[in-house]
Every structure is written in C-alpha cells, then in structure tokens.
Chain A
Amino acid sequence: ELKVEQNPLFLSMQEGKNYTIYCNYSTTSDRLYWYRQDPGKSLESLFVLLSNGAVKQEGRLMASLDTKARLSTLHITAAVHDLSATYFCAVPHFGNEKLTFGTGTRLTIIP
C-alpha cells in the first residue's frame, strides 16, 4: 500500500525566512505533484515533477524530486504572507492514475 508522509504538519514562519517541507513516499513512483489549498477553497496545482532530479521553481517556491530516496521537497524562500496555505504532495500509484495525497502541511506566515 502506498503511503505518503509530509512533515511538518504545521509550520509557522516569520516573513523573510526560508524553510523546507518534506514529502516521503513508500513505493516506487516517477512522478509527484504539489498542490496548494487556501482555507475553504479548492486545490490548486503548483508543480508537476516528472523524473528523478526534477526541479521546478515558481516565485518563492521551489520543488524537487529524488525518486531513489522517494523524497520530494518544497522549499520556501523569503516567505511572504501570501504563501500562507496548506500544501499537499500527491504520488500516483504505479501504472495508473490513482493519486495518494499526503496529510498536508499547514503553513502560516507571521508578519
């Protein structure tokens, strides 16, 4: 059974600081997705990582994938209040389109 673990579950950061969210998964996968969810809203796709060593950046967010370690990271640089949200990673099951989501990391940026 595919398990996806994120840590930390909760993160409070000061504006301007850097931090990393980790996503570990238990079985082989060559793809990984990151989503953002604002309170009371839907999930918004942030990054699609398609191969080992993939790195993608959008503004202050950068995501990477290490398929050998079964690990993805979401790095936040110089955090700003607008980044406050819950971030989910999601991993597809091998050979099909079924996604298992992590527990989510609730990020709060403190002025």
Chain B
Amino acid sequence: DAGVIQSPRHEVTEMGQEVTLRCKPISGHDYLFWYRQTMMRGLELLIYFNNNVPIDDSGMPEDRFSAKMPNASFSTLKIQPSEPRDSAVYFCASSISGVDSEQFFGPGTRLTVL
C-alpha cells in the first residue's frame, strides 16, 4: 500500500509568493493532519481534519495560512503571501479512527522562502 503522499518534496520561492502544498492520505484513513517542523519550534500541529471537516485549526500561525480538504483523498495547505519565517519542513499525516489512532507521516515538503 502507498503511504501518505506529499508534493512537492522541495519548494523554493521568493517572499510574497503564494505556495501550495499537497497531500494524499492513506486510503481509508479519516483523519488528516498538517504539521510544521523547525529547529526553533520543533514539531507543531497546524490543523487537522476528520472526514474532510476541519476540527482544530488553532495551530495555524495567521491568516496567511489556509488549508482545505475537498475530498477524502486530497488536502492542500496554502501560504499567501509567503515570508522567510515560513521556511520549514511541512508534514502531512493520516490516521484511522479507533483505539490505536496511530498517525502515519508523509515524506514532507521542505519549503524555503527567500
């Protein structure tokens, strides 16, 4: 089975540009999570969805960040406009509801904003 798929794997952009990160969760998983990892702040949850509905977006840094999940197999995280401090690795993870609820992580997108 394919794991969580993210694209692009690397993104370099200039300050002020729009950036869109994409994620395909594992088929059958009903939870999807977006995380950001930096040296300074560690691994932070940005937002998570259950059955395509956003449940908790309290980790989204500011209005420049938005996330959508139009269907069970696709989600996007958009940053507009991007800033150098947004440079980080962004991970998508998915899980299936139940006692275990183990989260499986995608390979990540390394974003560099110049």
Q: Is A110 at the interface (CB under 8 A from chain B)?
A: no
Q: How far does the alpha carbon of A101 sit from the alpha carbon of B55 in the complex, in Å?
A: 19
Interface range on chain A: under 10, 10 to 19, 20 to 34, or 35 or more? 20 to 34
Which residues in chain B, 3-55, are within 8 Å of chain A measured between CB atoms? Answer: 31, 33, 42-43, 45, 48, 50, 55
Chain B positions near chain A (C-beta within 8 angstroms): 31, 33, 42-43, 45, 48, 50, 55-56, 91, 93, 95, 97, 99-108
Asked if A48 and B100 sit within 8 Å, CB to CB, the answer is yes
Contact partner of B55 (CB less than 8 A), chosen from A33, A45, A96, is: A96
The winner among B33, B45, B95, B108 for most chain A CB atoms within 10 A is B45
Complex CA gap A43/B99 in Å reads 21
The smallest beta-carbon distance between B12 and chain A, in angstroms, is 16
Q: List 26 A-B contacts (CB under 8 A).
A: A31-B101, A33-B103, A42-B91, A42-B106, A42-B108, A43-B43, A43-B91, A43-B105, A44-B105, A45-B102, A45-B104, A48-B100, A48-B102, A88-B43, A92-B101, A96-B55, A96-B56, A97-B31, A97-B50, A97-B97, A98-B45, A98-B48, A99-B33, A100-B45, A104-B42, A104-B43
Q: Please, which residue of chain A has its CB at the minimum distance from the CB of B93?
A: A43
